[in-house]
Structure 1
């Protein structure tokens, strides 16, 4: 990815970043998160539930490996595994999802909606 695209996408409003996320993960068939010696990075959702974070590219995830996540590294997750295992597992466990955090905000949607949007985008291929 070029630096300009990374900078521009990090500055988009959350809904536009989400749309970019869906297109990118389907196009490249992978999702990115951050992990460290303790496991995957998490935070607390506004309702107090555990929240996992996902990005469309390694470069975007790496830009968020700061502060409490500074010792974290980007890790790739195969899209098929993400859709078939991660999202259903998160839904069953009551874990929330943060899409494309930019060190300021992200978007959180129901997991079923994210699954629908991914399936809809997959139909374009």
Structure 2
């Protein structure tokens, strides 16, 4: 869990730097955070009709987006191994993307699953 000071500093970062931070923290803690309700996880969309599954590195950041259209949602943790094996495989089949660390005022980085996997694996390789 990040400190209050870390949260404040990270929220000042642009989307690309939040993406790098997310990759590092997911590799560190081996969890991905999403938001959802009793009907399932929330998805984001872009202006071209593409669907993206939003992820964050920590609960505190995900909770920031549980308002407006997502007011009924709450942050939920997903173990990294399960996320990779189950979710990413399904997302690839459905041609979905990931929205990395969106904020209420910023959609974050929309990225293809393959690119996310490559960046994450590169970070994980540094740990093992």
Q: Does structure 2 conserve the Cα–Cα contact (< 8 Å) formed by 1:30 and 1:77?
A: yes
Question: Mapping of 1:43-122 within 5 angstroms?
Answer: 43-105=44-106, 106-122=108-124
Q: State the 4+ residue runs in structure 1 displaced beyond 6 angstroms.
A: none
Q: How many residues align?
A: 125
Q: Does structure 2 conserve the Cα–Cα contact (< 8 Å) formed by 1:45 and 1:96?
A: no
SS at the partner of 1:112? helix
Q: Any stretches of 5+ residues in structure 2 without a counterpart?
A: none
Q: Once the 2 structures are TM-superposed, how far is the Cα of residue 45 of structure 1 from its aligned partner?
A: 2.0
2: CA distance between counterparts of 1:84 and 1:119? 13
Q: Any stretches of 5+ residues in structure 1 without a counterpart?
A: none
Normalising by structure 1, what TM-score? 0.94
The answer to whether residue 47 in structure 2 is matched with residue 13 in structure 1 is no
Q: Does structure 2 conserve the Cα–Cα contact (< 8 Å) formed by 1:96 and 1:108?
A: yes
SS at the partner of 1:32? strand
